[in-house]
Amino acid sequence: MPPGQQTRITDFSHHDSAFARDPFNTITRLLTDEPVAWSTKHDGFWVVNRFDDVTSAFRDYRTFSSQRGAAIPVLNLGGDHIPVSMDPPQHAQYRKVLNPWFTAEAIAAREDGIRAFVREVIEPLAKVGEWDFVPDVANVVPGSVILGIIGFGAQRRAEFLSRMELAMSHQASTDPDTVEQIKRDKEWIDNEILELMRARRAKPEGDLMSVLANDPLGDGNELTDEQMLGVGMLLVLAGFHTTSAAFAAMMVHLSKHPDQRQWLIEDFGRIPAAIEEIIRVYSPATAEGRYVTQDVELGGETLNAGDMVLLNIAAANKDPSKFEDPFHVDFQRDNRRAISFGWGVHRCLGQHLAKAILRIEIETVLESMPGYVVDLEKTVVSDAMGIGFVHDAVPARLVRP
């Protein structure tokens, strides 16, 4: 900053409703005309769109640091989340503590419990015959499972969700009333985290909080309240909306494409690849912010030390040089290079959990309500895509043969 004379200037903001209303055309424009551009929004930041540039920045954590957080602008629910706002080697210390709780094996051990819970949620809806996939399923399952892993009762999901909703849908809001309400919501969540931490210090149990509350780094120290809030808030936030967004997008897509739904019904082994494809096209995590620590060339532009950079996952995953016919949903596509869960050291901690929840939810829907129909006229896509491709409403009903 300031950008050079040749720099492409854009008014793109991932938080603008214009982006949410027309995401695919906006992404095409960014990839074609503004691969690396300086946005005048949110006090100025670079937006980086092409796959090779985004992945090379994700890999180079020394130049593209996470120390100022991963959100542009800083999230109203705080920016000092752990470990997403840390660089190695400090970052690795926390991942070492958290990773064992989220490995494929650790999640596989929870699968029966998750499946029983998902059935309890979905089967009664099939009996009633009408429901909304967003409040009735998408917003129920991931939140409950994550709260359970941390050590909050899973049944407290609704209370937490109501405190997060405003902040997640108004991430960039500067409206004083909204900011004030989000501050109160944050205080409530902070208090809950610290209360649980104190309870587990007094009497550890078998949950993640019992580990976090008691010298987790093994250096003889307890975490400070600030550190605990940094970890606790991220765990609470990171999995709720992303996983629900992916499920809602899948339900809408399968309703529009009964042939693809039938293809999954014939072989549930096809569901994991279908999930990867849905999250490539309908990114549950739109983009991640980084901070430039030293002058660097990227995509023909010079980025200066001190600049903020937005690594646009939603665009990189649709770069036509890597993904043929990129906006087409093809459940048989090879998605090994897709970066829906990020790339590099911060690659998503919860990806095995998210994939297990989604697979079990989709299987249960296809078993108990295979002929569901989404009311597409009443389906509502959120007008804020800053976080991810979120549906606010996906009303559906069962068509009985």
Tokens of 384: 């804020």
- Binder of ligand HEM out of 279, 329, 362, 394 (CB under 6 A): 279
346 is a contact residue toward ligand HEM (CB under 6 A): yes
Q: Are 139 and 245 in contact (CB under 8 A)?
A: no
Asked if 252 touches ligand HEM (CB under 6 A), the answer is no
User: Residue 349 corresponds to which tokens in the numbers above?
Assistant: 């901690």
Give the footprint of ligand HEM on residues 126-165 (CB under 6 A).
Answer: 142, 146
Distance, in Å, from the CA atom of 174 to the CA atom of 90, rounded to the nearest integer, reads 32
Indicate the SS3 state at residue 373: strand
Q: Which two tokens mark 141?
A: 């399952």
Instruction: Please identify, using beta-carbon distances, which residue of 238 and 365 lies nearer to ligand HEM.
Output: 238
Residue 384: CA atoms inside 13 Å, Cβ hemisphere, count? 14
Whether the CA torsion 237, 101, 272, 280 is positive or negative: it is positive
Calpha distance 331→176 (Å, rounded):
44
Q: How far is the CB of 210 from ligand HEM (least distance, A)?
A: 17
Q: Does 234 bind ligand HEM (CB under 6 A)?
A: yes
Residue 242 makes contact with ligand HEM by CB under 6 A: yes
In the beta sheet, which residues pair with residue 55? Answer: none
Minimal CB distance residue for ligand HEM: 350
Choice from 8, 42, 95, 110 touching ligand HEM (CB under 6 A): 95
Considering only the stretches 6-14, 103-111, 239-247, 325-333, report the one whose residues sit in contact with ligand HEM under the rule CB under 6 A.
Answer: 239-247
Minimal distance in Å, beta carbon 285 to ligand HEM? 4
Measured CA to CA, the distance from residue 137 to residue 377 in angstroms comes to 20
Q: Choose among 363, 361, 396: nearest CA to 378.
A: 396
The runs of H, that is alpha helices, within 34-89 are 51-59
- For the CB of residue 74, give the shortest distance to ligand HEM in the complex, in Å: 13
Name the one range near ligand HEM by CB under 6 A: 10-18, 163-171, 342-350, 368-376: 342-350
Q: Does 360 bind ligand HEM (CB under 6 A)?
A: no
User: Which tokens go with 97?
Assistant: 């503590």
Q: Which is nearer to ligand HEM, 285 or 292 (CB)?
A: 285
Binding site for ligand HEM (CB under 6 A): 66, 70, 83-84, 95, 142, 146, 234-235, 238-239, 242-243, 246, 279, 284-285, 288, 313, 340-342, 346, 348-350, 353-354
